[in-house]
Chains A and B, each alone.
Chain A
């Protein structure tokens, strides 16, 4: 199985801050990497697919980059609705695997 490791596991930030979350895979997954946002009591929501493509309807302050084994999710200017948990996920092979999550809360 491909292991996905996110950092940090938790992060405190303020509205307006620029935030970067990183994700590393245990083997080369090219750009088969997705990012999800999950708010309490809700299903995850796809934000970024194929490492850098914004899903329809997702604000442009979200951005993704990387390929191979190292990836990042950037939120350029945090808004109140962005405080949530973020997961990376590889879609290169089965079984699909997720990072452990990064909980982003208000400083």
Chain B
């Protein structure tokens, strides 16, 4: 059974750093991309970018480039999303999801993590 399991909720102050995780299981982790998506509570879904688990190739949405960093440790089938200096506007739910390809794809986001709520408040 394919599963993506994310780390738990985090409460941080502005300016602090944070790294959240997404562990994949039940499939060949190294042959898929992991996408990160943001959802501000009560709002829609935003695609932040992807990282290829096989070689850590990354593609960021222009809206998030320079604001976050993706990484992956394929030895433990885990992808990470990190911030070096959080802002209040980073408060949101962050999802990871499996993405088959960076190009045109007939099957995006077939499996999702449960979401990680990040709250940034002074």
Q: What is A's interface to B at a CB cutoff of 8 Å?
A: 1, 30-32, 34, 36, 43-46, 49-50, 53, 55, 87, 89, 91-101
**Would you call B105 and A91 a contact (CB within 8 A)?**
yes
**Would you call A44 and B45 a contact (CB within 8 A)?**
yes
**Would you call A55 and B110 a contact (CB within 8 A)?**
yes
Asked if B13 is an interface residue, CB under 8 A from chain A, the answer is no
> Interface majority SS on A: helix, strand, loop or mixed?
loop
* Chain A residues with CB under 8 A of B97: 43
**Would you call B44 and A43 a contact (CB within 8 A)?**
no
**Would you call A43 and B114 a contact (CB within 8 A)?**
yes
Instruction: Knowing A44-B45, A96-B35, A98-B44, say if A89 contacts B108 (CB, 8 Å).
Output: yes
Contact with A along B59-75 (1 / 0, CB 8 A): 10111000000000000
**Would you call A94 and B108 a contact (CB within 8 A)?**
no
A49 and B105 alpha carbons, distance in the complex (Å): 9
Pick from A30, A43, A96: contact of B47, CB under 8 Å = A96
Instruction: Knowing A43-B115, A46-B110, A49-B106, say if A95 contacts B44 (CB, 8 Å).
Output: no
